[in-house]
């Protein structure tokens, strides 16, 4: 409990001259979404935690999650049904052990949030006292939610407790540059011993030493031109782990959310899956409904099917968007169930109680990432990954709606248990960041130009439907950009934009490499050259040829 005294023996820091930029913690957590915050709270009663975040504490993809959290909470539902729905959505690639582990722990994860005070939407008629909605791919109503802003409610609740906890130090406006490994101090057996982190506002690099380091950095959405993700989703954890020597897996499976609002003043506003779950239908501009022609489950088909159907209709008919129509529901019901969506659309001149919502698919979620086990451990000792940056095996070739926050919570708990079970060894002292051989950048336009070119190439060549030729074109451009970016990074002082661009180009390369290796169409990876699905489903795993060290 929060009121209990800490049981760990913390470090006594010697006095250093002003400006000395080396810090030590029991645990360093990079990322402040649901995975990072829930893990910090589970650790902080016993260990001293540093929580590093690129912007404000609650700026993450978790805070943007509208729909809710999938869990077996109702007597008419079952663990086996949730597992089967996850398998079906995952197109044969879900790891059965990881999937069962997550689903069997789903109820406890929700109970932990309720104990923490998350204000889930109540319903007196419900057997559990909370309203459960249904989303695409689910056979039951099992999505517990806080109206249509579940992620924001979870982040606000946990965030307040993170800020109040005396054993959690929050470093906002800080971005990790690279992990520090034990061989840098002559002890390779230690694995990861911390990270170099840029204080964005001060422009200085801080060295964080830690007994354990956790990558909770979120997804890779900003590698694409159009995405539902916040600007912080730049694949940082995946890129850093790859450079540190970790395997990555299934990076080709990028989920494109079917329904991102299409409006010139709003580039990344998500229209929740729950709108379709509560009866919303997809229509062409003339009002014709088209999803029944693509799948018998119509609007309740898994996201990959709905996204491909929309993409096909748009390309076939030359459309800028399609329309999601919920106007047949009572206006008051719509305002009550979807207040955030209703309010934002109304600001843009769309009254969703009367008008269908213009929508397009957009990059939304990465089903692959850093290979981890059930304790969230990576290939590098003392390095963990939780949340969207990790590849646990749960999502397979396509994530089932509302399994993402659940994964954050379940693996956050398992990582905490593993970390707390370890002996309290000393944290090694690390050297400061060396920038003696670099200068200030002369032309920042290189960064902005390469950023735009990379995202455009990924959107054009590595989108919803792919071909080998398009992937090879993308790979060629990525390799050229990677060379330019590496040269820039080697010669100039780091900045937030340069760090993110360096990580994005690594992430883009990993996505394309995985996509080229998969000679079939499965789930989110649809290939015009290989339209069939192979009978033997296998994950795509990549291992770094050698580790690239931080300077």
What mean pLDDT is predicted for residues 531-545? 95
For the chain, percent of residues with pLDDT exceeding 70: 93
Residue 4 has pLDDT above 60, yes or no: no
Concatenated DSSP letters of 125-172: TSSSSB-EE--TT-SS--EE-STT-HHHHHHHHHHHHHHH-TTEEEET
Residue 283 has pLDDT above 50, yes or no: yes
- pLDDT of 128 reads 66
Q: What is the pLDDT of residues 142-196, one digit of tens each?
A: 999 988 778 889 999 999 999 999 999 999 999 999 999 999 989 999 999 999 9
Residue 118 has pLDDT above 80, yes or no: yes
What mean pLDDT is predicted for residues 283-289? 97
Q: What is the pLDDT of residues 47-75, one digit of tens each?
A: 999 999 998 887 766 666 667 899 999 88
| 142-156, 288-302, 363-377: least confidently modelled range | 142-156
What mean pLDDT is predicted for residues 17-37? 85
Concatenated DSSP letters of 448-509: HHHHHHHHHHHHHHSSSEE-HHHHHHHHHHHHHHHHHHHHHHHHB---HHHHHHHHHHHHHH
Would you kindly state where each structural domain of the chain is located, as residue ranges? Answer: 20-251+367-424, 254-364, 445-542
| 261-270, 278-287, 476-485: least confidently modelled range | 261-270
- pLDDT of 17 reads 40
Q: What is the largest CA-CA distance in the chain?
A: 72
Q: What is the assigned CATH class of domain 445-542? A: mainly alpha
* CATH code for residues 254-364: 3.90.700.10
Q: What is the pLDDT of residues 215-230, one digit of tens each?
A: 999 999 999 988 888 8
- pLDDT of 2 reads 30
What mean pLDDT is predicted for residues 225-254? 94
Long-range contacts from 451-454, C-beta under 8 angstroms, 24+ separation:
451/497, 451/501, 451/504, 453/477, 453/481, 454/223, 454/478, 454/481, 454/501, 454/504, 454/505, 454/508
From the CB of residue 186, how many other CB atoms can be counted at a distance below 10 Å? 8
* CATH code for residues 20-251+367-424: 3.50.50.60
Q: Which active-site residues does the annotation give?
A: 303
* Residue 154 burial class via C-beta count within 10 angstroms: exposed 0-12, middle 13-18, buried 19 and up: buried
- pLDDT of 321 reads 93
What pTM, to 2 d.p., does this model score? 0.87
CB distance 427 to 26 below 8 Å: yes
The candidate with the shortest Cα–Cα distance to 174, out of 152, 209, 202, is: 202
| Better-predicted residue by pLDDT, 539 or 364 | 539
Q: What is the pLDDT of residues 469-504, one digit of tens each?
A: 999 999 999 999 999 999 889 888 899 999 999 999
Q: Is 41 helix (H, G, I), strand (E, B) or coil?
A: helix
What mean pLDDT is predicted for residues 353-367? 94
- Is residue 3 very low, low, confident or very high in pLDDT (cuts 50, 70, 90)? very low
């Amino acid at each position: 409990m929060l009121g209990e005294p800490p049981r760990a023996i913390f470090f006594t820091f010697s006095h250093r001259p002003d400006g000395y930029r080396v810090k030590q913690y029991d645990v360093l957590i990079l990322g402040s979404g649901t995975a990072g915050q829930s893990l910090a709270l589970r650790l902080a009663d016993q260990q001293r935690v540093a929580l590093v975040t690129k912007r404000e504490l609650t700026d993450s993809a978790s805070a943007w999650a509208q729909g809710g959290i999938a869990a077996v909470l109702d007597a008419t539902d079952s663990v086996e049904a949730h597992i089967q729905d996850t398998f079906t959505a995952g197109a044969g690639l879900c790891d059965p052990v990881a999937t069962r582990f997550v689903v069997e722990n789903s109820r406890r994860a929700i109970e932990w949030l309720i104990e923490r005070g998350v204000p889930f939407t109540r319903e007196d008629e419900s057997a559990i006292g909370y309203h459960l909605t249904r989303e695409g791919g689910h056979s039951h109503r099992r999505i517990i939610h806080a109206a249509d802003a579940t992620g924001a409610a979870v982040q606000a609740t946990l965030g307040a407790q993170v800020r109040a906890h005396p054993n959690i130090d929050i470093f906002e406006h800080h971005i990790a540059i690279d992990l520090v490994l034990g061989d840098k101090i002559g002890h390779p057996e230690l694995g990861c011993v911390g990270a170099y982190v840029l204080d964005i506002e001060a422009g200085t690099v801080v060295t964080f030493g830690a007994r354990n380091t956790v990558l909770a950095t979120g997804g890779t959405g900003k590698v694409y031109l159009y995405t539902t993700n916040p600007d912080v989703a730049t694949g940082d954890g995946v890129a850093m782990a790859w450079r540190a020597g970790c395997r990555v897996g299934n990076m080709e499976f990028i989920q494109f959310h079917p329904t991102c609002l299409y409006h010139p003043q709003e580039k990344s506003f998500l229209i929740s899956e729950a709108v379709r779950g509560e009866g919303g239908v997809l229509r062409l501009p003339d009002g014709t409904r088209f999803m029944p022609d693509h799948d018998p489950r119509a609007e309740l088909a898994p996201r990959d099917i709905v996204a491909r159907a929309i993409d096909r209709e748009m390309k076939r008919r030359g459309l800028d968007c399609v329309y999601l129509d919920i106007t047949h529901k009572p206006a008051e019901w719509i305002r009550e169930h979807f207040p955030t969506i209703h309010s934002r659309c109304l600001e843009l001149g769309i009254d969703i109680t009367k008008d269908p919502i213009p929508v397009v698919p957009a990059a939304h979620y990465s089903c692959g990432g850093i290979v981890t086990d059930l304790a969230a451990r990576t290939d590098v000792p003392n390095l963990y990954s939780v949340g969207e940056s990790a590849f646990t095996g749960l999502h397979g070739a396509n994530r089932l709606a509302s399994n993402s926050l659940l994964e954050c919570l379940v693996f956050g708990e398992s990582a905490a248990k593993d970390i707390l079970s370890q002996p309290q060894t000393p944290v090694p002292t690390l050297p400061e960041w060396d920038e003696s051989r670099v200068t200030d950048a002369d032309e920042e336009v290189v960064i902005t130009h390469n950023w735009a070119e990379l995202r455009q190439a990924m959107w054009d060549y590595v989108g919803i439907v792919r071909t080998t030729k398009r992937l090879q074109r993308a790979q060629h451009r990525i390799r050229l950009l990677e060379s330019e970016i590496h040269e820039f990074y080697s010669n100039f002082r780091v900045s937030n934009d340069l760090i993110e661009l360096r990580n994005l180009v690594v992430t883009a390369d990993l996505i394309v490499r995985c996509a080229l290796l998969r000679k079939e169409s499965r789930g989110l990876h649809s290939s015009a050259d290989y339209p069939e699905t192979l009978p033997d489903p296998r994950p795509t795993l990549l291992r770094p040829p050698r580790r690239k060290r931080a300077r």
